[in-house]
A = this chain, B = another copy of it.
């Protein structure tokens, strides 16, 4: 699909790092929008629309903001700047613990990839069991990007069980039951990103999905004999 790509005004102090652009189809009518595919979810499930935008465009960073732990969330493409460039934005990487720096840096991604990740997550959310139906223009848009949408076909990236849309609003101990997952935690692009159960995502940890499957396969090979 060819996007409109007209610049969108932004008050963000990071707008010189990556200019916000319009992702409506080229030649569209009406106002320019950065995330036109989220227009419907923004109305019927605002929390989910914000989650998709946030997970697609922001690093996770530390659980809380502090000098040691660093900014708690930051735009992924800002993390592509050098330590020196980040100083101009008041972000002093050298003051952060090495583990925090590594965690932030491995979440870096370019602007275009982040937009496509948001669209992919939207495409996946609409294909969950019990998801609302998208308006036809949004369905066409998403299908052109990622292929036909099949009701109830979205499964957890990790355990492969169907995901129920209602799990987005279920939370245990304050943590959402569905998280955005990466097949390879160090790559943020539409092919590599999906939704998964929180417990599955935690179990996968820093491993790639294939490393995770190998790992649990090895565990079972050592347990099998006496205990399964």
Residues of A that sit less than 8 Å from B by CB: 97, 99, 158-161, 172-174, 199-200, 202-203, 205, 210, 213-220, 222-223, 227-228
Contacts and interface: CB of A to CB of B under 8 A. Distances in A.
Contacts of A99: 172-174
5 contacts: A160-B223, A202-B205, A213-B223, A213-B228, A216-B219
Contacts of A217: 220, 228
Given A99-B174, A205-B202, A205-B203, A220 B227 contact: no
Contacts of A160: 219, 222-223
Contacts of A174: 97, 99
B210 A199 contact: no
Given A159-B215, A159-B219, 6 more contacts: A97-B173, A199-B205, A200-B219, A202-B202, A213-B227, A217-B228
Count this chain's copies in the assembly. Answer: 2
A159 B205 contact: no
Contacts of A215: 159
A174 B214 CA distance: 27
Nearest to A218: B159
Most buried by B among A159, A216, A222: A216
Contacts of A218: 159
A174 B220 CA distance: 29
Most buried by B among A99, A158, A173, A219: A219
Contact of A216 (B97, B172, B205, B220): B220
Give 9 nearest A-B pairs by CB, closest first.
A99-B173, A203-B203, A216-B216, A160-B222, A159-B219, A199-B205, A213-B223, A213-B228, A217-B220
